[in-house]
Amino acid sequence: MAYRSGFVSIVGRPNVGKSTMMNQLVGEKVAIVSDKPQTTRNRIQSVYTEEEMQIVFLDTPGIHKPKNELGEYMVRMAKGSMRDVDVILFMVDESDRLGKGDQYIIEELKNIKTPKILVINKIDKEKQEVIAEIVRQYEEMELFEAIVPISAIEGVNLSRLIDEIKEFIKEGPQFFPDGMITDQPERVIVGEKIREKVLFYTEQEIPHGVAIEIISMKERENKKLIDIEANIYCERNSHKGIIIGKQGRKLKGIGKAAREDIEGFLGLPVNLQLWVKVKEGWRNQRRLFSNFGYHED
């Protein structure tokens, strides 16, 4: 049997669970997750490989009404990911109300001939009759080749989703070697793990004006420890104080949690040093957020 391969884009509103689903599909935490919308900022590729098939998933920023230059960049990345792929997964959550955000994406999808699969996430939070009503609403649109209700966080129905995707994966080469699950450089993943902990520890106090810059990442000569230095950038002095916390406690908590996560990822002990700096209005300065890794190909 000929080898098959293809690219699958995951699109949807912010915070519907795209990154959680992708992590579950490939069996490892590739993209950071948070209960805050717009957590994903870049297009992230992860790789699902079987003996005779490979699927490359593109996790994208949530499509939303941008409020700054960074937001506009994120939306361009998400829309661009729908071009030149084999399948588009449009993810919604368990809400039975079609909001303006969903309607906007649906209008975009109507102009695209690529096969589309609707993924209804968070079915663990809702009754079956409600899910059935959501399915009925979308079936009436006659826009999707398949509709798959799932629970990304619990892994429910993900094997069925893979089976539906396989129907549209054609003969092609193996793009990535066995065992490789992402094309993201280690430095990028390390930076994202730090940002995830900042989002978690600051709760709703800090908006999305946080960026991470990995200054250095060096393995010691004995190869038993990795030294990592990173800057945490925020937009206001008041935010800097919140991230550091009283007597530096919050920053210590962020550093400890990030270090443990990074050690699990790299497989070696880590010496992590973090500094907090202010760059006012960086999300509206393309040159600055490009320096933080948010740049178009």
CATH number (domain holding residue 251): 3.30.300.20
Structure tokens at 208: 């999305």
| Residue corresponding to tokens 């059935």 | 132
75 and 134 both lie in a single domain: yes
Structure confidence at residue 208 (pLDDT): 67
Mean pLDDT by 10 residues, the chain (297 residues): 90 84 83 52 77 88 60 64 84 78 85 92 86 90 95 92 95 90 84 89 70 91 90 90 92 96 92 93 67 57
270 lies in some domain: yes
Residue 237 DSSP one-character state: H
Q: What are the DSSP E strand ranges found in 51-205?
A: 53-59, 87-92, 116-120, 146-149, 170-171
| Residue corresponding to tokens 């202010």 | 278
199 and 155 both lie in a single domain: no
Residue at 153: amino acid letter: I
* Range(s) of the domain holding residue 262: 186-291
Structure confidence at residue 140 (pLDDT): 92
Structure confidence at residue 274 (pLDDT): 97
Structure confidence at residue 95 (pLDDT): 72
55 and 145 both lie in a single domain: yes
Structure confidence at residue 189 (pLDDT): 87
* Whether the model pTM is above 0.85: no
Structure confidence at residue 204 (pLDDT): 64
Q: What is the CATH number of the domain that holds 98?
A: 3.40.50.300
| Residue ending a domain, choose from 113, 137, 171 | 171
CA 122, CA 205: separation in Å to the nearest integer?
A: 26
| Residue ending a domain, choose from 117, 145, 171 | 171
Structure confidence at residue 37 (pLDDT): 47
Cβ 147 vs Cβ 135: under 8 Å: yes
254 lies in some domain: yes
Please count the structural domains in the chain. 2
Structure tokens at 237: 């002095």
| Residue ending a domain, choose from 171, 205, 233 | 171
210 lies in some domain: yes
